[in-house]
Structure 1
Amino acid sequence: MGEQENCLGSTPGRPSKKRPMMTAATTTTTNIESLQGRQQLSVTTKKRVVLGELTNIPKIVELSSIPKPVHPKPKSSTSREKEEVVKSDAHVDRCPDVSRKYADAPLIYQHLRSLEVEGNRRPLHNYMEKVQKDITPTMREILVDWLVEVVDEYKLVSDTLYLTVNYIDRFLSSHALSRTKLQLLGVSSMLVAAKFEEITPPHIEDCCYITDNTYTREEVVAMESNILMFLNFNTSNPTAKSFLRTFTKAAQEISTFSNLQFEFLACYLAELSLLDYICVRFLPSMIAASAIFLARFTMLPSIHPWSLALQRYTGYKASDLKECILAINDLQLNRRPTSAQALREKYMQNKFKRVAALCPPSEIPSHYFEVVTGKHSSEAQEAPL
């Protein structure tokens, strides 16, 4: 019995640790077939997305005067205000599970708000007029719309798109660039953002491919290095998407919104702001709050889009958001001529509930921008989608 317990043979029921051996020929054949399969897959799935011609666009300054950037009024961080924030969050997160999940949301939100106002994280609101000599807002719009198509084609997350546009605007705020290098800046910024956000970012060869090999591998690497040096390798930055996640959850909890269409609509409106150079002057949190306002107004135009709880949660009154709301609303209603089509086509797909086809009333009632009272808040809560 003791000899049987001490024997070195494999124990019944336990899988053997030995693996079947493969010959060198078998291994080589398997590797070649796997490589050929990957090459064939990459050829069939990747598609070159053509960018409109930037160099033939006449150099016209469309915006003669750009208003100064809109920033929220500074608030004192007293203990009473912090207590109000906690109370408002308790009102938002009525469900115990949600309360636990977003227990640290106030502190995270305050931290993001403090980061977004830092000067080194913000582009100049008038860099087209002050810095750039060969690039116009129309060229920027064409580039961003093309990047929307590239991000969608390569199945990248929307956070990559937001960071990409942020890098572009900040880089152009301090570097005068030729229009022939604008697409290089765009694709290199996307590469940097993808390496920060994506699990599997595109390769440099992919960046050359989608530009129809307009730029070489060395040029993309050099521009990527310039962007990273400019950012001081700090690739993290709050974007409208960062705030939209929190605001969307708050809006759903407050108004019993459970419709996926509402979330897609808010995302669509926030991404519309990326196309417009005018929206550069708005803070990301302001754009996210304005997208929530417009999404609620589009789906329930007869109900006040803002509530007292949302006002406390976001820190914005409806009057604070008016200028940003009207700018995004003009984009939503196509009131300004634009050549951008990729973003609208993206959100016309069934998987996004065709939210780009939703059209709000042509005018937003003026009293919707007045101070929100408890009555408005209760009305919004009683009107589910």
Structure 2
Amino acid sequence: MDLQQRCREGRTPGARRAQGDNNLLTDRVLRALLRGEDKYLPAANYFRCVQREIAPYMRRIVATWILEVCEEQKCEDEVFPLAMNYMDRFLSAEPTKKHQLQLLGAACVFLASKLRETSPLTAEKLCIYTDNSITPAQLLQMELLVLNKLKWDLASVTPLDFIDHFLSQPPFRTENRSILRKHAQTFVALCATDAKFIAISPSMVAAGSMLAAVEGLQMRMASNGIMPQKLMEQLAQSIRSDPDCLRACREQIESLLETSLRRAQQLCSVTMETKNIGEGQDQSTTPTDV
């Protein structure tokens, strides 16, 4: 095969991901992640102590936008939680105007894609996703400001760094790991959109997401032999936490899922009602045959 053809890289999902390395799933690596995760935690109270114009609901709106960009561009799973970590760490240190929040979000996903993607997102493409409300020059300027505030330390520990460590341990069967990983990653992304999880350690979010995934798939994996209580104790031991704290985190994640589903249903209902009203108005003004 031609060397140029072999080295050609595109944005096709799966074409650029390296094979997993089991050497990275050892206890030594897990211990290193646990030692380093607190270093990258944002301040829990930055909405009260640092920010004057930014509110949690604004963060959720921008987080949802970043997630949509990542999904539409088929970014690596790690890009979204990494971008949210950058944004929270920046907001923990720098007062920000509310009209700059989307610009900040764009800069953070820009940096995260550079760190995790073989073919990172371009400044021009991200500007298009903001309806051209920002320019590439503004994005690059904000990128430098974020790098300065983060002291160029971008190798953050995120919940996804722990998922494969958990899945490599008993009692997870090989044939179930793929679907469990997918569901756990969904819960991790959901947590990243909610400000309540800002100060919860990545290992706790990852373990809580694993438990929520197992609980949600319990009917489909009844033959797997996974006992929820035993699994909770095992995960709590892995992350050096109390099982009760982990149980509380799992319950908080499940509550967030219910809230998100309820919000989505309400939005769907409003959309349908608006559509029906529009159709009714169109029907009333449409000439009828006599």
Tell me which interval the TM-score lies in, with the shorter structure as reference length: 0.7 to 0.9
SS at match of 2:228: coil
* Alignment partner, residue 200 of structure 2: 282
Shift of 1:328: 0.7
In 1, are the aligned partners of 2:205 and 2:249 still within 8 Å (CA)?
Answer: yes
Structure 1's 330 and 191: CA in aligned 2 closer, same or farther, altered over 3 A?
same
- Residue ranges of structure 2 left out of the alignment (5+ in a row): 1-10, 12-19, 267-290
Q: Does 1:201 align with 2:120?
A: yes
* Alignment partner, residue 304 of structure 1: 228
Q: Specify the code of the residue in structure 2 equivalent to 1:325.
A: R
Shift of 1:160: 0.9
Q: 1:313 aligns with which of 225, 234, 238?
A: 238
Larger radius of gyration: 1
Alignment of 1:75-86 (within 5 A): none
Q: Does 1:113 align with 2:34?
A: yes
* Alignment partner, residue 74 of structure 1: none
Q: Tell me the TM-score normalized by structure 2.
A: 0.76
The separation in 2 between residues aligned to 1:236 and 1:223, in whole angstroms, is 19
* Alignment partner, residue 181 of structure 1: 100
Q: Specify the code of the residue in structure 2 equivalent to 1:268.
A: T
Q: Specify the code of the residue in structure 2 equivalent to 1:267.
A: Q
1:155-175 per-residue CA deviation (whole Å, 9 max, x = no partner) reads: 111111111000000101111
* Alignment partner, residue 219 of structure 1: 138
Shift of 1:224: 0.3
Shift of 1:196: 0.8
The separation in 2 between residues aligned to 1:284 and 1:143, in whole angstroms, is 21
* Alignment partner, residue 171 of structure 1: 90
1:239-267 per-residue CA deviation (whole Å, 9 max, x = no partner) reads: 001111211232xx314362232221111
Q: Specify the code of the residue in structure 1 equivalent to 2:95.
A: A
The separation in 2 between residues aligned to 1:190 and 1:103, in whole angstroms, is 25
Shift of 1:220: 0.6
- Sequence identity (%): 26
SS at match of 1:220: helix
The separation in 1 between residues aligned to 2:160 and 2:154, in whole angstroms, is 15
The separation in 1 between residues aligned to 2:167 and 2:246, in whole angstroms, is 16
The separation in 1 between residues aligned to 2:101 and 2:264, in whole angstroms, is 17
* Alignment partner, residue 181 of structure 2: 263
Structure 1's 326 and 311: CA in aligned 2 closer, same or farther, altered over 3 A?
closer
Structure 1's 298 and 104: CA in aligned 2 closer, same or farther, altered over 3 A?
closer
The separation in 1 between residues aligned to 2:234 and 2:243, in whole angstroms, is 12
SS at match of 1:158: coil
Q: Specify the code of the residue in structure 1 equivalent to 2:31.
A: Q
Structure 1's 305 and 295: CA in aligned 2 closer, same or farther, altered over 3 A?
farther
Q: Specify the code of the residue in structure 1 equivalent to 2:167.
A: T
In 2, are the aligned partners of 1:294 and 1:325 still within 8 Å (CA)?
Answer: yes
1:317-374 per-residue CA deviation (whole Å, 9 max, x = no partner) reads: 4212133212211112227965799xxxxxxxxxxxxxxxxxxxxxxxxxxxxxxxxx
Structure 1's 332 and 104: CA in aligned 2 closer, same or farther, altered over 3 A?
closer
Q: Specify the code of the residue in structure 2 equivalent to 1:294.
A: A
Shift of 1:313: 3.0
Return the structure number with greater helix share: 2
Q: Tell me the TM-score normalized by structure 1.
A: 0.58
Shift of 1:306: 3.8
Q: Specify the code of the residue in structure 1 equivalent to 2:247.
A: K
Q: 1:334 aligns with which of 237, 248, 259?
A: 259
Structure 1's 234 and 225: CA in aligned 2 closer, same or farther, altered over 3 A?
same
Shift of 1:230: 1.2
Tell me the matched-pair count.
241
In 2, are the aligned partners of 1:132 and 1:172 still within 8 Å (CA)?
Answer: yes
In 1, are the aligned partners of 2:84 and 2:192 still within 8 Å (CA)?
Answer: yes
